[in-house]
Amino acid sequence: MNWYYANAGQKAGPIEESQLDALRQAGQINDETLVWCEGMANWQPYGKVRQPAPPGTAAQIPGAGGSGATTSGINETVCAECGRIFPIDSTIQFGEVRVCAGCKPIFMQKLAEGAKIGGGLSYAKILTRFGAVFLDGIILAAMNMLLGFTVGGLTFMQAAGAQPADRVGVQIGLFFLQLTIGISYEVIMIGKYGATLGKMAAKIKVVTAEGGKVTYSRALGRYFAKMLSAAICGIGYIMAAFDEEKRALHDRICNTRVITK
């Protein structure tokens, strides 16, 4: 269980429950310190949450979410944007969350851009994704064509008298070289930047379901999962249009999402 606590007006954590208790024992926090963990509706004073409370105090209400929740009985709340603590009357309510005055402009802009409140992900539209895939296709085709011409030219000059079998060997070698380029392009770009050049141009990126960075190994897995999406007549790609989180088949397999930046 990850706990958060208020420290000098800032949200600190996540820390383990044992660490939280250790902080209390060390006197770093006291019974009045506001704490929160996943599943709690509100930030609560430590003393109320961590010591035996009579039934009905409802310190823990599962599944009620927590960001920006108000603290009951205490006129303080946590800004959903910056995570700092403010007097409740200096914050502005937006739906279920509250933000501080300082964060209001950023928050309003995010709302206008269609981002979900409370740190949710804004999934990329399927047409935008197709645009990015198309652009990457052009980039890779150009690279492969250049490579093909180079290899072809060299073969022609150096091995004008070569046997047909050698030429087949060159073709197979070229195929694997191009495949390697295709894989490296995708894995390195996604692993390092979260986006290929096409996706960068379309201002979208690949993230994990939680919005985190995609590792190189997951990017590699996703490359092969994309082959599957393409192999079934592209249906794997089209699936994104009918998914609530705009997941293509390869996103489902690798548990990734494509979001707008």
| Residue range at the interface with Zn ion (CB under 5 A); choices 57-65, 82-90, 197-205, 206-214 | 82-90
Provide the residue type at 182 as one letter.
Answer: G
Smallest gap from Cβ 98 to Zn ion, in A, equals: 9
Number of residues counted as binding Zn ion (CB under 5 A): 5
Nearer CB in complex with Zn ion: 107/223? 107
Give, as ranges, the residues between 83 and 112 that touch Zn ion (CB under 5 A).
Answer: 100, 103
| Residue range at the interface with Zn ion (CB under 5 A); choices 15-23, 73-81, 109-117, 159-167 | 73-81
Nearer CB in complex with Zn ion: 28/75? 75
Smallest gap from Cβ 100 to Zn ion, in A, equals: 3
The answer to whether residue 79 forms part of the interface with Zn ion (CB under 5 A) is yes
Smallest gap from Cβ 91 to Zn ion, in A, equals: 8
Q: Compute the distance between CA of residue 74 and CA of residue 70 in angstroms, rounded to an integer.
A: 8
Q: Does residue 85 contact residue 34 with C-beta atoms inside 8 Å?
A: yes
The answer to whether residue 81 forms part of the interface with Zn ion (CB under 5 A) is yes
- Which residues contact Zn ion (rule: CB under 5 A)? 79, 81-82, 100, 103
